Structures are given as structure tokens and as C-alpha cells.
Amino acid sequence: MTKIAFIGLGNMGGPMARNLVTAGYDVCGFDLMPDALSQFEQAGGRTADSVTDAVKGSDVVVSMLPAGKHVKSLYLGEEGVFSRLSEHCPKHCLVIDCSTIEADVAREVGADATARGIPFIDAPVSGGTAGAAAGTLTFMVGGSQVAVDQAKPFLAVMGQNIFHAGEAGAGQVAKICNNMLLAILMAGTSEALTLGINNGLDPAVLSEIMSKSSGGNWVLDKYNPVPGVMPQTPASNGYQGGFMVGLMAKDLGLALNSAKASGTATPLGSLADNLYRMHSARSGTTLDFSSIIKLYDA
């Protein structure tokens, strides 16, 4: 049986790891939060007290971490995974990092992995917590074709769409482009819906009209920011769960840093970044990013 170490069992990593367990893989998880470990054990997974214990004997290592500094520490530190793989794991253990981080960090980690003969891909995801739970995520993958082909059976358990964007780091570039657009769409859709509500329209009716018209977009179809319009969305659950404002702000920062480095004009991305930072200052970082609609009521 293929053994998988899964590092990071949070809102996204937890359900992704559980889907691998359901598919019949022997998954050993590690997280710094005891509750995350307990939930994973209840779902049938094994847990470890340390990263070293988690990766021992693993054929595949999957990580889902908050930021690039955590990924670098996990893989490149003196006691990092790469230094442990040769000692504790089968030769050519596959490494899949699903975190959303700087493309340069993914390239650095990928280069180190290649130098050690370790197949590595960066595979950030889109689809939110609902997609993670349902196994319908979209993976944006960077790495060699050989490593991508090796990873596909595992990615297919956790997602529906797998796109090979290019070499190491390319998955991260695709992800920040996607999330910058998503932030723009959420802010713009929230603004339009608030205008309609303030002028007496039913938000559900207006949403349906715009969804079937030239303003149609993913937010209207899948992730409406108005409470009660879509019962399954975070908006209808007090903006709990989903993709936190703080994470969207982080991703917008990654996009704008990349835009600056490449000399790319991103006026709407910059505006969305300002709006989310303003919203974060007023409402905190833990609500779902669709709560940006609250900014228009302030």
C-alpha cells in the first residue's frame, strides 16, 4: 500500500488528507494543532508527533502550509524533509506542495529537490474548503512532466481538474493570477449587489438576472456574498469557514509583488488589495473573503 505523509491538516489540508484515506491510502498526518490531529484520527488517518515521524517510510509527502517561510523551513531547513528523506523514505519519494507561496520560493525548493534526485511539484489549489471536502479542487501544477505524471493519481483523488502550467513555480504564478481575478470579481459583484439591494431589489432575483446576463461570473454562480441567497456558502453561515480574508490579502500581496517584479500594470488588482486591507482592518482576518460585501455597508 502506498504510504503518504500529509503535513498541514487545516481547513484545506484536513479534508484533502481525509479524501486520500477514503481512497484507501495509508496516510500519516502531522499538524501543530491538536484538534486537527484529533479530527484526522476520527476520519481514519494515522497521526505523528513530528514531521520526522510522519515522513518515515512514506512514498509520497504532501504539504499544505500557510506561507513560503513555512514551506522553506519544512523542506530546506537543517532538519527539513529533504535531509530526512534519504534516511527515512524510499528512494525518489514524491513531494507535492499544495501551499500558495511565492513562485521564487517554489523554484528554490524545486531546484534543491532536483539536485537531490527528489521528484517535486508545486500544486496550489482552487475551489475552497467545499472543493477540498468534495474532492473537486483544481490543481495548478508546476514541475517536470515526469513528476506531474507521478503525482496525478494522488491529485485526482483530491480534485477534478489538473493543469500542468510549466516548470517549478509555474503553478504558483497561475494561482496568484487566478486569485487576483477572484478578488476583483468578489469586490465588484458585492458592489453591484449592494447597489441593487439599496435600490429595493431582491438580491436572489438580481443575482439570477446578472448570472444569466453579461455580468455573469463564478461568484454569482457558486459563492454569492449575500446571506441567504445560497444556503451552502459561508455568507449564509456568518461568513465562517471558506477562504479567510487574511489569506486573500496574502495572495493579493503575492500577486502585486510579482507584478512589480515583472513590470506588469495591475490597477484593478491594486484596488482589490486596498479594499481587502481596509476590510481586514475593520472586520479582522478570519471571516470568509466574501464578507468584503460588509465594506459597502460601512
Contacts of 262 (CB under 8 A, 6+ apart): none
Q: Is 175 a catalytic site residue?
A: yes
3-state secondary structure of 135: coil
Q: How do 159-166 and 137-142 pair as beta strands?
A: parallel
Output the CA angle 105-123-242, nearest 5 degrees: 105
Burial grade of 228 (CB within 10 A; 0-12, 13-18, 19 or more): exposed
How many of the other CB atoms lie within 10 Å of CB of 178?
17
Helix, strand, coil % in the chain, rounded to nearest 5: 55, 15, 30
- List 69, 175, 250, 294, catalytic entry: 175
Residues with catalytic annotation? 175
